[in-house]
Structure 1
């Protein structure tokens, strides 16, 4: 782990994000101005709101990398007290969220809820209900061990978590409200500039949050892991 430079890793991740963002924008402009089919290969493989493509696989990989690093911390001897349950629990959470990125589990859960209950406005995407509850319960569980960590690590984790949740939940809820308020045609959301911008911001915040989280774990390992 000593050979890994956290700053270089973060820089590399930011470069990848920049490339993916550029391709996402180019593919949308091509779709919008040239009136191309959303099923075109370039659009499907680069659009942030599509699944099983370059952006979604990259996002999933960030979660899996975080899960692996958290497991490593859990097994490591540290210069400070090591709450193995804390690290392993977080590792499991990010293993699940990585699978969610690939398989869109939250959308299936949201569909089931919408078929049973009527949700609208900021709850237009019904999956946010159980996921917000899960985040709240997780926050209660990790509160004490989190704040026993070094101050810089705590700040990095909180900032990373804030960015991720702001994108994954905050922007998603705003998008749901926007769709209903302006009565947008959900079959044509890929073409609408408003929803494209919102989905891009959402995924970008998620990627940035996860990249910062990976950086924070690497930084923690570099400073507090005993060789």
Structure 2
């Protein structure tokens, strides 16, 4: 039999003298340390991203400027900023999945809500990585000619999705501990204000001034910063819930011989 036990930690404790068939690996995730690392990484990426667009707009060329911009541009794809945001959302999805498994094992009344949230963050992670939402802009424009705040027309279906999630989770949120509920609401407000709220402002600026302006780049920087902050706060809230609500949680993967 092979057992893998996941508790709160980042270290592995192998037993080299024990055969692999009987080994047990313990993974410890230290929540506060992880949140500090993620927060510092997000702050660094946002700072580098803003410096990049500022230097391109106002400063003369310097060594490796274009490389720095390509790696850290906050509205770019397949670069460090995009990779970090994608992995952050998928990490949140993984923690939600662990909670969903624990709730399913105890037949908790809200196990399906936890599972739905996990799947939602998997979708958001994929969306962040490949920009699925941008594929909706043209179809919505063909249906309804919109400009101004609705220039980026994907905000319409995604706004409706956000509203549906809020309504569906209203009862679920009321049953949570007060600190966890507040953390989820605040993190959701941060994320939505960036992903949808500032996207509306960007649509207005795009219609009024065009896409390639410094004002637009500042809005994009603020948008990505709020999305990262919301995701990190949500992850911190989930880790707190694990510590307070499921202190003895163990996820054990066993492989039985045929």
Q: Would the TM-score normalized by the shorter structure come out above 0.5? A: yes
Correspondence for 1:31 among 40, 56, 59: 56
Going by fraction, where is strand more abundant, 1 or 2? 2
How far apart are the structure 2 equivalents of 1:148 and 1:35?
56
1:146-192 CA-to-partner distances (Å, cap 9, x unmatched) read 21111110000000000000000001101111222x3x233xx1xx2
Give the corresponding residue for 1:57.
83
Distance 1:108 1:35, change over 3 A: farther
Give the corresponding residue for 1:2.
8
Q: Answer yes or no: is the 8 Å Cα contact 2:94–2:118 preserved in 1.
A: yes
Once the two structures are overlaid, the 10-residue window that deviates more, 89-98 or 139-148, is 139-148
How far apart are the structure 2 equivalents of 1:109 and 1:207?
23
Which ranges of structure 2 fall in alignment gaps of 5 or more residues? 1-6, 10-28, 250-258
Give the corresponding residue for 2:169.
142
**Pairing 1:71–2:97 present:** yes
Cα distance, 1:139 vs. partner? Answer: 1.1
**Pairing 1:218–2:253 present:** no
Which ranges of structure 1 fall in alignment gaps of 5 or more residues? none
How far apart are the structure 2 equivalents of 1:2 and 1:220?
12
Once the two structures are overlaid, the 10-residue window that deviates more, 16-25 or 210-219, is 16-25
Once the two structures are overlaid, the 10-residue window that deviates more, 39-48 or 214-223, is 39-48
Q: Answer yes or no: is the 8 Å Cα contact 2:8–2:31 preserved in 1.
A: no
Give the TM-score, by structure 2 length.
0.79
Give the corresponding residue for 2:150.
123
How far apart are the structure 2 equivalents of 1:113 and 1:55?
28
What count of residue pairs does the alignment treat as equivalent?
Answer: 219
How far apart are the structure 2 equivalents of 1:64 and 1:210?
10
**Pairing 1:195–2:201 present:** no
Give the TM-score, by structure 1 length.
0.90
Distance 1:120 1:177, change over 3 A: same
Going by fraction, where is helix more abundant, 1 or 2? 1
